[in-house]
Amino acid sequence: MTKERSDTLSLLKADLNKNRLAEAVQLLADLHPADIADLFEALDEHEKKKLFRELDIDTASEVIAELSEFSQDQILADLPHQRLGEIVDELDSDDAADLLASVPKEVVEEVLASIDVEDSREVRRLLAYDEETAGGIMQAELLAVPQEATIADTIKHVREHGKDLEGLANIFVINSRKQVVGQLSLRRLILSDPGDIVAEVMDTSVRPIPVDMDQEDVARIFQKYDIISAAVVDSDDNLVGRITIDDILDIVEEEISEDVLRMAGTHEDELNYGDQIWKISRYRLPWLITNLFGGLLTGYLLWLFKVTLADAIVLITFVPVITAMGGNVGIQSSTITVRGLATGDIDLHRLGRTIFKEVRVGLLMALACGLTIGIAAELWHHNPALGFTVGCAMAGAIVVASLMGTLVPIGFKQLGIDPAVASGPFVTTANDITGILIYLSTSTAFLKYIVR
Amino acid sequence: MTKERSDTLSLLKADLNKNRLAEAVQLLADLHPADIADLFEALDEHEKKKLFRELDIDTASEVIAELSEFSQDQILADLPHQRLGEIVDELDSDDAADLLASVPKEVVEEVLASIDVEDSREVRRLLAYDEETAGGIMQAELLAVPQEATIADTIKHVREHGKDLEGLANIFVINSRKQVVGQLSLRRLILSDPGDIVAEVMDTSVRPIPVDMDQEDVARIFQKYDIISAAVVDSDDNLVGRITIDDILDIVEEEISEDVLRMAGTHEDELNYGDQIWKISRYRLPWLITNLFGGLLTGYLLWLFKVTLADAIVLITFVPVITAMGGNVGIQSSTITVRGLATGDIDLHRLGRTIFKEVRVGLLMALACGLTIGIAAELWHHNPALGFTVGCAMAGAIVVASLMGTLVPIGFKQLGIDPAVASGPFVTTANDITGILIYLSTSTAFLKYIVR
């Protein structure tokens, strides 16, 4: 948020709290709906509700489509159903379906009954698809022409039906069974001669997207083939919707953000929760408590080896570095693996290569860190046996950590579990435990040389 | 990579290694350039070079534009300059500039001298901009019409000059001083009447992008305002280029991926390095060695308090859990802060709010984890003073870790240092040290109650 926006926010809050509602609305007059939505996100719940009531229906529908799900839910909670109906009527079918997805079923029925029949049929159809699939992100508004149409027919069709289709870039071409056979960019439409037949000038290189494809795969296809908009088809190849690249942009960011935050043991919603510390803690705490018991287990291992430790208290000084390095190596390997799986850079059909690479990188780092810590230990405590023990344990812990960081996300992926969610906590805790186990058993084995 | 693609790759490698080059090229015949590029990424360096030499110039230029910088560099290393010239001639100006950015200056001069004068002038102009700014990602190919033109004039202009402009979605509108005053979508062009004046139907809501704007900010603007393509202007508001949303998609992914991988102590290039374990280690090792010395410092603190520890060996059992929890809380806070700064959800002008929120979340988690570990310690060792000490130390370590995880990235951002690069290693190591310091001082203070 810029300085200017931040000042507007302060004025807005002041107006709302002193009930100067006309002034508050006036502040938003020249702003883009996306900027108004930004201001909304920074308001408290009751301020959001109060301000939203004052917006005209056009602005209200544009703004609500830009809001986070969290703010939408707050505003929808006690919005009169009639006003919700008016808003749904204004929205594109995909935004309407997204908005209604979190509203109780009986309210949805009431709202859909109050709007245009054709619109409500489309929204109802979109609501039936899983939110995270092609069907969940597509919109019903699109243009299609038969493959035998001429360019002149098509231009006429666009002029008649394209008025409400903002962002239209392509027209889909269908055969007599309503199957998608190609698409035609508006540029191609302008460049072609009026008498040309659509089937002869259309582009057949962009394959239609199956309606049940996961949104992450849809995004990957758009990204890879530089697609601007694609047709969505059902299992009979019939045209059921359209996905445009601006929706994809949000998905790409969402999906990566989700991965990152989940690996760190929290949740993407947190960014929208503002001051709701209970909700934020609800995401973070389970992970912390899990790790707490993992940490206690590591401590229990130290307790089991307390005879070794009491004999050579000097061994304790390397406990933090062994656990820290296992954690770090594990985070590096698991992060690169989770990203590689997400981007497709890691090929599930050639896993041997990935694992072999990680083992070699792990060995190289084990050698470097093992030597460094071994020399450091010797210089510090003047005890070559100690240096040897610590160096070996460090090297072993690093090799195990890098293997675990690679294999755990791949294993979860194979089992159909999100590697990002599972990898973070699992890898960190597991590496602490194995690291300490390796260190303490090595130390016990060499104890008689360490204690002189 | 699908099973099918993986099989193609095996065939391709076999053909290349047995010098059946015609068969190798034949395998690629029906593939999209993006799919061919995928196969290239999975080849060894000499296989890439060998195969690239066999591609016709059309395919070669389409494929090289899709390759990672790493593979581009490998192929360019000993590509004859004449062939490089032919490829540059085929490419869009932005792809040509990207490709030449990593080629030695004298080769660039030689190549540019060999191609069309107009093209070389444009590429030279683009090469002058910083790669990570609007100038670095824009292309020179665009259409612009004067604001007094009619729709009929504009359609004629598109038909005459739009043949090579794939993906064209908008035409820019300029005044007599060549300043951008608006844009016109092809849809609007088709919907308008031939006699309409451009200035009357154009869209003025999309503001032109300054040529020196950082690419991350450009991406944020595209994302926020759902822009498909935008004009890029110099400091006099003169039109100098065009940015399209498909370039933005790559930037969004790149920027987040960069943040994630750097926070984990590695680098985005690693995903392209394949089997090059030395290069991969070069990224990971500095971070590991830094953390190794951080870990030794933590160990040194344990050594300083060895009298305390020798008196109550039981204290050792909580060392791993204290450092692990400090690390986890620090990662949660710093990840959410780095993401919040990147998305703009954290407002640098209202920092107090973010910090206050994080302190309250930290306190809540400190309370929960402190109580849990305190009770666990008492149940395990039947020593209430120990439980109290460990619980207090844990709570203190968590509050400090969450504050540090929030303040460090914000501080780096304010200093103009990438918060993602700096936060990961710094926060982790710092939290280990402060966590242990808090634990050991608390233990020393309560030692007489713990040792009974």
CB atoms A264 and B158 under 8 Å: no
Residue B141: how many CB atoms within 10 A of its CB? Answer: 18
Per-residue model confidence as pLDDT tens digits over A369-383: 999 999 999 999 999
- pLDDT for A1 equals 55
Burial B207-241 (b: 16+ CB within 10 A, else e): ebbbbebebbebbbbbbebbbbbbbbbeeebbbbb
Classify residue B199: in a domain, yes or no.
Answer: yes
Contact B420, B338 (CB under 8 A): yes
B275 and A226 in contact by Cβ < 8 A?
no
Interface test with A, best of B229, B321, B433 (most A CBs within 10 A): B321
Percent of chain B whose pLDDT exceeds 70: 98
- Give the C-alpha separation, A186 to A154, whole Å: 10
Q: Under an 8 A CB cutoff, do A336 and B369 touch?
A: no
One domain for residues B374 and B417: yes
SS (H, E, C) B48-75: HHHHHHHCCHHHHHHHHHHCCHHHHHHH
Q: Which candidate from A158, A350, A373 shows the least CB-CB separation from B6?
A: A350
> How many residues appear in chain A?
452
Which of A193, A288, A325 would you mutate first to test chain B, the one with the most B CBs within 10 A? A288
Query: Which residues are bridge partners to A146 per DSSP?
Result: A174
Same-domain status, A313 and A442? yes
- Please report the pLDDT score of residue A152 as a whole number: 95
Determine, for residues B365 and A281 on separate chains, whether the beta-carbon distance falls below 8 Å. Answer: yes
Alpha-carbon gap: A187 to the closest alpha carbon of chain B (Å)? 6
Q: What domain range includes position A161?
A: 144-247
Same domain, A272 and A241: no
Please give the pLDDT value at position A274.
Answer: 65
Q: Return d(Cα A87, Cα A97) in angstroms, integer.
A: 12
| Rounded distance between C-alpha atoms, residue B11 and residue B25, angstroms | 11
Nearest-Cα distance to chain B for A301, in Å, is 8
Nearest CA in chain B to A171: B187
- The radius of gyration of chain B from alpha carbons, rounded to an integer in Å, stands at 30
Residues B210 and B325 reside in one and the same domain: no
B316 secondary structure, DSSP code: G
A365–B339 CB contact, under 8 Å: no
Q: Is residue B289 part of a domain?
A: yes
| Identity at B208, one-letter amino acid code | P
Q: What is the pLDDT of residues B21-74, one digit of tens each?
A: 999 999 998 889 999 998 998 888 899 999 999 999 999 999 999 998 888 988
Q: Which residues of A touch B295 (CB under 8 A)?
A: 320-322, 324-325
pLDDT digit string (tens) for A121-146?
A: 888 889 999 988 999 999 988 999 99
Q: Distance from A309 to chain B by nearest Cα, in Å?
A: 8
Nearest CA in chain B to A345: B271
**Beta partners for residue B229, in sequence order:** B244
How many distinct structural domains can be found in chain A?
A: 3
Chain A residues near residue B270 by CB distance under 8 angstroms: 336
Q: What is the pLDDT of residue A365?
A: 92
pLDDT confidence bin for B256, thresholds 50/70/90: confident
Judging contacts by C-beta atoms under 8 Å, the chain B residues touching residue A284 are 332, 361, 365
Q: What is the CATH number of the domain that holds B398?
A: 1.10.357.20
Q: Distance (Å, rounded) from C-alpha A356 to C-alpha B280?
A: 13
Contacts of A314 in chain B (CB under 8 A): 303
Query: How confident is the model at residue B276, as a pLDDT?
Result: 79
% of chain B with per-residue pLDDT over 90 = 44
Examine the fold and report which residue of A82, A102, A132 is the final residue of a domain before the chain moves on. Answer: A132
Contact B186 A186 (CB under 8 A): yes
Other Cβ atoms within 10 Å of B297 Cβ, number: 15
Q: pLDDT band for A102, please (50, 70, 90 cuts).
A: confident
Note whether B321 and B416 are same-domain residues.
yes
pLDDT, mean over chain B? 88
Contact A260 B259 (CB under 8 A): yes
Residues A125 and A152 both lie in one domain:
no
Residues A208-233 pLDDT 10s: 999 999 998 999 899 888 888 999 99
Judge if B126 and B156 occupy the same domain: no
Q: Tell me, what's the pLDDT at B200? A: 95
Secondary structure string (H, E, C) spanning chain A: CCHHHHHHHHHHHHHHHCCCHHHHHHHCCCCCHHHHHHHHHCCCHHHHHHHHHHCCHHHHHHHHHHCCHHHHHHHHCCCCHHHHHHHHHHCCHHHHHHHHCCCCHHHHHHHHHHCCHHHHHHHHHHHCCCCCEHHHHCECCCCEEECCCEHHHHHHHHHHHCCCCCCCCEEEEECCCCEEEEEEEHHHHHHCCCCCEHHHHCECCCCCEECCCEHHHHHHHHHHHCCCEEEEECCCCEEEEEEEHHHHHHHHHHHHHHHHHHHCCCCHHHHHCCCCHHHHHHHHHHHHHHHHHHHHHHHHHHHHCHHHHHHCHHHHHHHHHHHHHHHHHHHHHHHHHHHHHHHCCCCHHHHHHHHHHHHHHHHHHHHHHHHHHHHHHHHHHCCHHHHHHHHHHHHHHHHHHHHHHHHHHHHHHHCCCCHHHHHHHHHHHHHHHHHHHHHHHHHHHCHHHHCC
Phi, psi of A102, rounded to the nearest 5 degrees: -105, 10
Same domain for A16 and A55, yes or no, is yes
B9 and B79 co-located in one domain:
yes
Q: Are residues A113 and A220 in the same domain?
A: no
Phi, psi of B417 (to 5 degrees): -100, 140
Its ipTM equals 0.81
Residues of B with Cβ-Cβ distance to A274 under 8 angstroms = 357
Shared domain check, B425 and B317: yes
The whole-number pLDDT of residue A344 equals 75
Q: In angstroms, what separates the C-alpha of A9 from chain B's closest C-alpha?
A: 11
Under the banding of pLDDT at 50, 70 and 90, the label for residue A422 is low
The mean pLDDT of chain A is 88
Give B405-435 pLDDT, tens digit per residue: 999 999 988 888 888 776 676 788 888 899 9
A149-195: pLDDT as tens digits = 999 999 999 999 998 888 888 999 999 999 999 999 999 999 999 99
Report how far residue B361's alpha carbon sits from residue A62's, in angstroms, rounded to the nearest whole number. Answer: 33
Nearest CA in chain A to B303: A317
Q: How far is Cα B52 from Cα A144, in angstroms, rounded to an integer?
A: 40
Q: How many CA atoms lie within 13 A of B391 on its CB side?
A: 18
- Chain A residue closest to B68 (CA)? A345
Report the DSSP pairing between strands A209-210 and A180-185.
unpaired
Q: Do B328 and A159 touch (CB under 8 A)?
A: no
pLDDT for res B189: 94
Beta-carbon contacts of A288 under 8 Å, excluding residues fewer than 6 positions away, are A265, B325, B328, B329, B332, B365, B368, B369
For residue A91, what is the domain's CATH number?
1.25.60.10
Quick check: B452 pLDDT over 80?
A: no
Instruction: Read off the pLDDT of each residue in A15-38 and give the average, rounded to a whole number.
Output: 91
- What three-state secondary structure class fits B240? strand
Contact A345 B271 (CB under 8 A): yes
B163: helix, strand or coil: coil
Q: Which of B1, B245, B298 sits opposite A245 (nearest CB)?
A: B245
Per-residue DSSP letter, B120:
H
Q: Which residues of A fall within a CB distance of 8 Å from B277?
A: 357, 360-361, 364
Residue A122 covered by a domain: yes
- B347 contacts A42? CB cut-off 8 A: yes
Whether B253 maps to a domain, the answer reads no
Q: What is the pLDDT of residues B135-175, one digit of tens each?
A: 999 998 899 999 999 999 999 999 999 888 888 889 999 99
Chain A residues inside the 8 Å CB shell of B246: 226, 228, 245
In 10 A of CB A217, how many CB atoms? Answer: 14
Best-predicted range by mean pLDDT (A164-178, A253-267, A407-421): A164-178
Instruction: Decide if pLDDT at B1 tops 60.
Output: no
Q: Does a structural domain hold residue A259? A: no
Q: How far apart are CA B416 and CA A320, in angstroms?
A: 32
Distance from the B196 Cα atom to the nearest Cα atom in chain A, whole angstroms: 15
Q: Are B131 and B162 in contact (CB under 8 A)?
A: no
Q: How confident is the model at residue B226 (pLDDT cuts 50, 70, 90)?
A: confident
**Hey, what's the torsion of the CAs at A106, A211, A141, A63, to 10 degrees?**
60
Q: Is A263 part of a structural domain of the chain?
A: no
Query: Which segment of A232-241, B137-146, B443-452 scores lowest on mean pLDDT?
Result: B443-452
Angle at B398 between CA B393 and CA B400, to 5 degrees: 95
Q: Do B316 and A309 touch (CB under 8 A)?
A: yes
Tokens of A155: 């231009």
Last residue of a domain, one of B112, B133, B154: B133
Is it the case that residue B274 has pLDDT exceeding 70?
Answer: no
- pLDDT number for residue A349: 72
Chain A positions in Cβ-Cβ contact with residue B167 (cut-off 8 Å): 185, 187, 226, 228
- Taking the CB of residue B163, how many other CB atoms lie within 10 A of it? 11
Q: How far is the C-alpha of A73 from the C-alpha of A60, rounded, in Å?
A: 14
Out of A246, A287, A299, the one facing B318 most closely (by C-beta) is A299
Q: What is the spatial distance between Cα A346 and Cα A337, in angstroms, rounded to a whole number?
A: 7
Nearest CA in chain A to B431: A324
CATH of the domain at A182: 3.10.580.10
Residue B274 shares a structural domain with residue B236? no
- Is A201 among the domain residues? yes
Q: Which residues of A touch B31 (CB under 8 A)?
A: none
A423 has pLDDT over 80: no
Q: How far is B127 from chain A (nearest CA, A)?
A: 23
Q: Do A271 and B223 touch (CB under 8 A)?
A: no
CA atoms of A259 and B253, how far apart (whole Å): 12
Within 8 A of A34 by CB-CB distance, chain B residues are: 224-226
In a domain, A252, yes or no: no
Mutate to test the interface with B, among A44, A185, A284 (most CBs of B within 10 A): A284
Contact (CB<8Å) A187/B205: no
Report the distance separating Cα A35 and Cα B61, nearest Å. Answer: 41
Size of interface A-B (CB pairs under 8 A): 355
How far B256 CA sits from the closest chain A CA (Å)?
Answer: 7
User: Of the candidates A247, A282, A306, which is a domain's last residue?
Assistant: A247
Within 10 Å of residue B245's Cβ, how many Cβ atoms?
23
pLDDT per position as a tens digit, B71-97 = 898 899 888 988 999 999 889 888 999
Give the separation between CA B253 and CA B214, rounded to whole angstroms.
15
Neighbours of A57 (CB within 10 A): 12
> Over 60: is that where the pLDDT of B179 sits?
yes
Output the pLDDT for position B16.
Answer: 92
Mutation pick from B13, B41, B288, B373 vs chain A, by most beta carbons of A within 10 Å, is B288
Decide if A329 and B288 are in contact by the 8 Å CB cutoff: yes
Cβ pair B369:A288 closer than 8 A: yes
* Angle B197-B202-B207 from CA coordinates, rounded to 5°: 145
